Amino acid sequence: MRILFLTTHFNTGGITRYILTLGKGLVDHGHQVSVVSSGGDCVEQCRDVGISHHTFNIRTKSELNPKVYLALGRLRQLIKKENIDVIHANTRVTQVMAACVSRLTRVPYVSTGHGYFRPHFFRRSIPCWGKRVIAISSAVVKHLEDDFGVPANRITLVPTGVEFDRFALVTQQMREQARQVLGISKRPVIGIIARLSEEKGHDTLIKAQQKILKQFPDALLIIIGEGRCEKRLKQLVRDLNLDGAVQFYPLVNQTAKFLPVFDVFVLPSIKEGLGLSAMEAQAAGLPVIASRVGGLVNLIEDGKTGLLVEPGNEEQLAQAISFCLGHPLEANAMGLRAREFVQKNFSVQQMVEKVVKVYEEVDGKL
């Protein structure tokens, strides 16, 4: 089968990782995979996994931007040339593109709901979900049904898979080596890898860090990510006099290399479709603390495979982090159980098999 992924850009992030992981799995199973995006820092990784990438000028957040429609002619030619069987859209803008080009080429399209969409008028009146919608968690399934009225028989739950082999179990030796590279001394390290946006809850984590320091005065919070809230979050750190206790790093596309630095991984999101970074931390055997929202509750059984706290509650978050730092044996045991859980329930093999079944259901049907 010949599949064409559409996404607005190919920079480091959850959607890019999703396409690379799923695309590699599809290629390994004998399928042909192409990607159209506006380019980005992960394009070279396409070649590494056997995916062809085509750069189109479609970098925009608005489905009404003229560049979306100016690209349709070239996109139609590419679909015809590569004899594409199924188009797979991954952002709102590319859902609209897929809907338009599907009409021009008679090639069916599907989309993946990676999280939460704002239910504004245009999305409700011109939904563009495709013949099938893949939802990455049960929370996203409910969101699509309740907020957009997508029929249940058009939605397929397919959790994002983790390339488990990329995430070695973190050992003390690995931790010491990783910290040496960053010049970090022996101190408790709390980490988060996430886009710097309101819904990720960084402000709650920073405020919790102020409380954690009362019990662990040398604790270090490492924030890895980029986004529109960067200036505001750095100002919050200054306002709380946490300059020596919080460090910011730009987003990395090889999270497996950074995870060994952390003693505990935290994702205090306000909203979360699934929580890929938390899942990757679990795959590395790290104890994970996350908010009791969205798909995160599907990843963590509270007290067994991690800890769950109420979103926005800095006191609860500080207590959970302090527990893990103060009880390393119990925290490490939760990390090991989480690693086993992810390996069993979120494999790439399971993901690929379910997605291929969706493709087969829509192939040749309009």
Interior angle at CA 292, CA 289 and CA 297, nearest 5:
85
Task: Assess whether pLDDT exceeds 80 at residue 24.
Answer: yes
Note whether 190 and 331 are same-domain residues. yes
Note whether 262 and 141 are same-domain residues. no
Note whether 10 and 92 are same-domain residues. yes
Write out pLDDT tens, residues 155-173: 999 999 999 988 999 999 9
Note whether 172 and 143 are same-domain residues. no
> Residue 176 is part of which domain span?
164-345
What angle separates helix 202-215 from helix 314-326, to the nearest 10 degrees? 50
Q: What is the mean pLDDT of residues 42-60?
A: 95
Q: In what order do the strands lie in the sheet with 2-6?
A: 52-55, 32-37, 2-6, 86-89, 109-113, 133-135, 155-157
How many domains, in total, are found in the chain?
2
Asked if 212 and 190 count as a contact pair (C-beta separation under 8 A), the reply is yes
Q: What is the mean pLDDT of residues 141-168?
A: 94
Average pLDDT, the chain: 94
Note whether 190 and 338 are same-domain residues. yes
Note whether 43 and 134 are same-domain residues. yes
| Distance separating alpha carbons of residues 65 and 117, to the nearest angstrom | 18
Residue 245: count other Cβ atoms within 10 Å of its Cβ: 21
Q: To which H or E segment does residue 336 belong? A: helix 328-345
Note whether 331 and 197 are same-domain residues. yes
Write out pLDDT tens, residues 299-348: 999 999 999 999 999 999 999 999 999 999 999 999 999 999 999 999 99
The model's confidence at residue 96, banded by pLDDT at 50, 70 and 90, is very high
Q: To which H or E segment does residue 138 belong? A: helix 138-148
Task: Assess whether pLDDT exceeds 70 at residue 366.
Answer: no
Task: Please report the pLDDT score of residue 365 as a whole number.
Answer: 61
Write out pLDDT tens, residues 215-273: 999 999 999 999 999 999 999 999 999 999 999 998 776 778 889 999 999 999 999 99
The alpha carbon of residue 250 and the mean position of all alpha carbons in its chain are separated, in whole angstroms, by 16
Task: Please report the pLDDT score of residue 120 as a whole number.
Answer: 72
Task: Assess whether pLDDT exceeds 60 at residue 29.
Answer: yes
Note whether 67 and 200 are same-domain residues. no
Note whether 189 and 330 are same-domain residues. yes
The model's confidence at residue 121, banded by pLDDT at 50, 70 and 90, is low
Task: Assess whether pLDDT exceeds 80 at residue 123.
Answer: no
Q: CA 9 → CA 6, 33, 40, 265, 305, distances in Å?
A: 9, 17, 6, 27, 34
Task: Assess whether pLDDT exceeds 80 at residue 361.
Answer: yes
Note whether 6 and 94 are same-domain residues. yes
Q: What is the DSSP secondary structure assignment for residue 170, as one 8-state letter?
A: P
DSSP characters over 98-130: HHHHHHHH---EEEEE-S-----HHHHHS----
Task: Please report the pLDDT score of residue 185 as a whole number.
Answer: 81
pTM for the whole thing?
Answer: 0.90
| Distance separating alpha carbons of residues 131 and 362, to the nearest angstrom | 7
Q: What percent of the chain has pLDDT over 70?
A: 98
Note whether 277 and 243 are same-domain residues. yes
| Distance separating alpha carbons of residues 86 and 107, to the nearest angstrom | 6
Interior angle at CA 263, CA 257 and CA 265, nearest 5:
75
Give the CATH number, domain containing residue 149.
3.40.50.2000
Note whether 138 and 185 are same-domain residues. no
Secondary structure class of 268 (helix, strand, coil)? coil
Task: Please report the pLDDT score of residue 113 as a whole number.
Answer: 95
Write out pLDDT tens, residues 73-92: 999 999 999 999 999 999 99
Asked if 309 and 292 count as a contact pair (C-beta separation under 8 A), the reply is yes
Rg of the chain taking only CA atoms, in angstroms: 21
